[in-house]
A = this chain, B = another copy of it.
Amino acid sequence: MSFDRLIEGIIRTQNPTVVGLDPKLSYIPEEIKADCFAKYGKNLDGASAALLEFNKGLIDALCDIVPAVKPQCAYYEMYGWQGVRALYETIAYAHEKGMFVITDGKRNDIGTTMQAYAAAHLGEVEIEGQTVIPFGGDALTVNGYLGSDGILPLVDVCEQQDKGIFVLVKTSNMSSGELQNLTVSGGDTVYFTLGKHCEMWGESTMGKYGYSGVGAVVGATYPEQLQELRDALPTTFFLVPGYGAQGGGADDVKQGFDEKGLGAVVNSSRGIICAWQKNGFAGKDYAKAAREEAIRMREELTEKIGKIG
């Protein structure tokens, strides 16, 4: 269990980014939607087919220059079980194209229920002696509010399967401080306390680049905290949301990287998948627009952090 496979993809592409696949219908070109609604109907099947087609085009256009994708479960669940089928098919397609998949589910529960989530998203299940992979992501985002009981069942599955998790520590949103910035007895903040737990939970899962398989989500919108956590959590790999649409820039996110340019992967969702709408492309060129924006983002980041690895 570690993030070695992700880190190798980052070094290979010299690109420490992950593209968030958060496909709302309004982001999808009319041509794709018209085709899918004609084939499957104006219903959850048609909408889900459109999500999948949109994602496949993005993956095709990005797979040689971006190491990872991060489908956000909410946008698939929004289209019912049919949307969840499109999530499964998106993960499978990204794997075919050699990408690392971070399933952004922010799952959390305890004991056997957390084992079920771990099996669902990172592991396998046994059905009458047959082993089946339900979703097959490479990493899962999780929420640590329930403490170790919610994390250790995942660590077990990750160790068997060479997978990883990212625990929410300091999230990128405006109100993240309401709970996360409170100071607890001893003087640490809530988010810092959870960050230190990540170091501890990951101890037994160290990879060859010095990072464990228990990562942390730390928002680009709070660069001071990103710096503080990078310094304090030397073996915890960061997933950094909040770049671009949410306001974080390259100077902000560079705080998350170590001196080798490792230690973090920066997410951009709308900035890349909606690039065609923002940058005046025709719908049929949405994937080309995404690729151009991904290259621009890579250059913007590597200019700040230098050669990676």
Contact = CB atoms under 8 A, between A and B. Distances in A.
A127 B46 contact: yes
A148 interface: yes
Interface stretch (A182-190, A224-232, A260-268): A182-190
Contact of A146 (B84, B87, B112, B171): B171
A53 interface: no
B184 A182 contact: yes
Interface residues of A, number: 73
A108 B111 contact: no
B130 A43 contact: yes
* Copy count, this protein chain: 2
Interface of A: 22, 24-25, 33, 37, 42-44, 46-47, 72, 74-75, 77-85, 87-88, 106-114, 116-117, 119-121, 125, 127-130, 132, 134-135, 143-150, 168, 171-180, 182-185, 190, 193-194, 197
Contact of A145 (B46, B116, B145): B145
A252 to B, nearest CB: 18
Contacts of A147: 173, 175-180
B134 A78 contact: yes
A22 B113 contact: yes
Given A44-B127, A109-B106, A173-B149, A134 B77 contact: yes
Contact of A173 (B37, B72, B117, B146): B146
